[in-house]
Amino acid sequence: MRRIALAGKPNAGKSTFFSAATMSDVEMANYPFTTIDPNRGVAHARTRCPCTDRDADCGICREGARYVPVELVDIAGLVPGAHTGRGLGNQFLDALTTAEAIVTVIDAAGATTAEGEPVAVGTTDPLEEVRFIEEELEAWMAQIIADNWTSVRRGARAPGFDLDASLAEVLSGLGITDHVITAVLREAEYPAQVDAWGDGEFTMLAQAVRQRAKPIVICANKVDLAPSANIADLQAETDAVLTAAIAERTLRRGVEAGVVEYRPGDDEFQITGEVDAQQRAGLDAIADLLAQHGSTGVQETIDRAVYGRLDLITAYPVQNETRWTDASGQMLPDALLLPAGSTPRDLAYAVHSDIGEGYLYAIDARSQRRIGEATALEEGAVIKIVSTAD
């Protein structure tokens, strides 16, 4: 499963976002360092289900909204200097190593200090948080490179030394591939002699690697409390998703309790059950928020990470290319996330390595035609794979 991590200063609302997105109970509170050990759960990216293109209901999507699972990780808050061990230290940065994308949760209300202490709304600048999280991530990566430089230099004395491979080894623990390192080294000029590298180069390399390998979505949370000047600044300077994690949590709880009809990511909801006056007032405030901002932002944040930053597509393998079903008759049983540009064979491997190895050909179930091996699958592709492993 694709993995996305939530990062941000203490008390920004990471765990509230996590709880809303995964519907799991975790500790949330208005003081810093509520979360210590990472929380892991399953969230979903939302896309249009292919069954909407036919007069059929697959029985899995919610009125055409298909929710595709991704893993979400919620970590302890980061404070400036976290890479040097400040706050709860850099062990929590390590929880980010296996994430493919990072959601930076910031406090759009400006009502918490950099250390996460509550202060009056509008006191702190949310834009500062955007910069500091990037800087911490990059400083942490630069530190890892610096710490390993002695061994890189030692390796450089041996015949057949390969800088790309050596750096890939240094950064492999962060889930950085050789491919990323090669691309990054080609982008800018680095000294040919490893002895000539210093902090400047480590930082430059870390920034380039971070941008490519750990793309960030900015989630401007607590938008329900945010002064309009903060929102205007965020919109002018960033492409942050305006979010009220707490509102999403309330709506999903309402759905669970059977009193609200709402699909995550929708711009509206209905009250369908008994609610008391206080609950109604809360829901009315959320309705105003949706009218103003279009959604709570939680779903949009995940969608942007998955379909935007990670540039993934959803493909649907089926066994019956006319009915779009599996052997048991379930329509569109699986939705798989693949990198854009993936081919039918890549899809076959994603289904199972045996199916990939035995790949013969594929049929586009929309046109019922065989498609070439090099065809790049598109979002919503419905594909029958023919394999010797069937």
Nearest to 61 by CA among 44, 82, 73, 79: 44
d(CA 317, CA 170): 37
CA distances from 239 to 215, 234, 301, 304 (A): 13, 7, 11, 11
DSSP string, 178-200: HHHHHHHHHHS---SSGGG--HH
Task: Decide whether 108 or 180 has the Cβ nearer to ligand GTP.
Answer: 108
Task: Indicate whether 314 belongs to the interface with Mg ion (CB under 5 A).
Answer: no
Contact between 210 and ligand GTP by CB under 6 A: the answer reads no
3-state SS of the chain: helix, strand, coil percent to 5?
A: 40, 20, 40
Interface with ligand GTP (CB under 6 A), residue from 4, 7, 13, 143: 13
Question: Does 290 help bind ligand GTP (rule: CB under 6 A)?
Answer: no
Interactions with ligand GTP, residue window 234-263 (CB under 6 A): 244-246
Is residue 11 a contact residue for ligand GTP (CB under 6 A)? yes
**Binders in 22-81 for ligand GTP, by CB under 6 A:** 28-30, 32-35, 76-77
Residue placing its CB nearer to ligand GTP in the complex, 16 or 104: 16
15 makes contact with Mg ion (CB under 5 A): yes
What is the 3-state secondary structure of 43-78?
EEEEEECHHHHCCCCCCCCECCEEEEEEEEEECCCC
Closest separation between CB of residue 5 and Mg ion, Å?
12
CA distances from 136 to 6, 38, 141, 340 (A): 14, 18, 9, 30
Residues in contact with 172: Cβ distance below 8 Å, sequence separation at least 6, in sequence order: none
CB neighbours of 210 closer than 8 A, spacing ≥ 6? 134, 137, 138, 141
Number of residues this chain uses to bind ligand GTP (CB under 6 A):
25
Q: Which residue's entry shows tokens 């901002």?
A: 293
Number of residues counted as binding Mg ion (CB under 5 A): 4
Burial environment of residue 280 by CB neighbours within 10 A (0 to 12, 13 to 18, 19 or more): exposed
Q: From the CB of 233, what's the least distance to ligand GTP, in Å?
A: 18
Question: Per rule CB under 5 A, is residue 221 in the interface with Mg ion?
Answer: no
- Could you say which of Mg ion, ligand GTP, none residue 110 binds, taking C-beta under 5 to 8 angstroms by partner kind? none
Task: Examine residue 221 and tell whether it contacts ligand GTP (CB under 6 A).
Answer: yes
With CB under 5 to 8 Å by kind, the binding choice for 11 among Mg ion, ligand GTP, none is ligand GTP
Helix (H) or strand (E) holding 29: none
301 sits near Mg ion (criterion: CB under 5 A): no
CB-based contacts of 55, cutoff 8 Å, min separation 6:
none
Binding piece for ligand GTP, criterion CB under 6 A, among 8-16, 184-192, 278-286, 303-311: 8-16
Could you give the string, one character per residue 35-74, with x where binding to Mg ion holds by CB under 5 A and - elsewhere? x---------------------------------------
Q: Are 234 and 212 in contact (CB under 8 A)?
A: no
Based on CB atoms, which residue is closest to ligand GTP, 35 or 295?
35
User: Residue 34 interacts with Mg ion (CB under 5 A)?
Assistant: yes
Task: Tell me the closest approach of the beta carbon of residue 248 to ligand GTP, in angstroms.
Answer: 8
Question: Closest Cα to residue 243, out of 231, 259, 257, 258?
Answer: 231
Q: How far is CA 135 from the centre of its chain?
A: 19
Residues 82-101, one symbol each (x = binds ligand GTP by CB under 6 A, - = not), give --------------------
Supply the DSSP symbol for 240: P
| C-beta closer to ligand GTP: residue 245 or 318 | 245
Consecutive H or E run containing 33: none
Q: Which among 13-21, 157-165, 258-266, 357-365 is the span making contact with ligand GTP, rule CB under 6 A?
A: 13-21
Q: By CB under 6 A, name the binding residues for ligand GTP.
A: 8, 10-16, 28-30, 32-35, 76-77, 116, 221-222, 224-225, 244-246
Q: Provide the binding-site residues for Mg ion, judged by CB under 5 A.
A: 14-15, 34-35
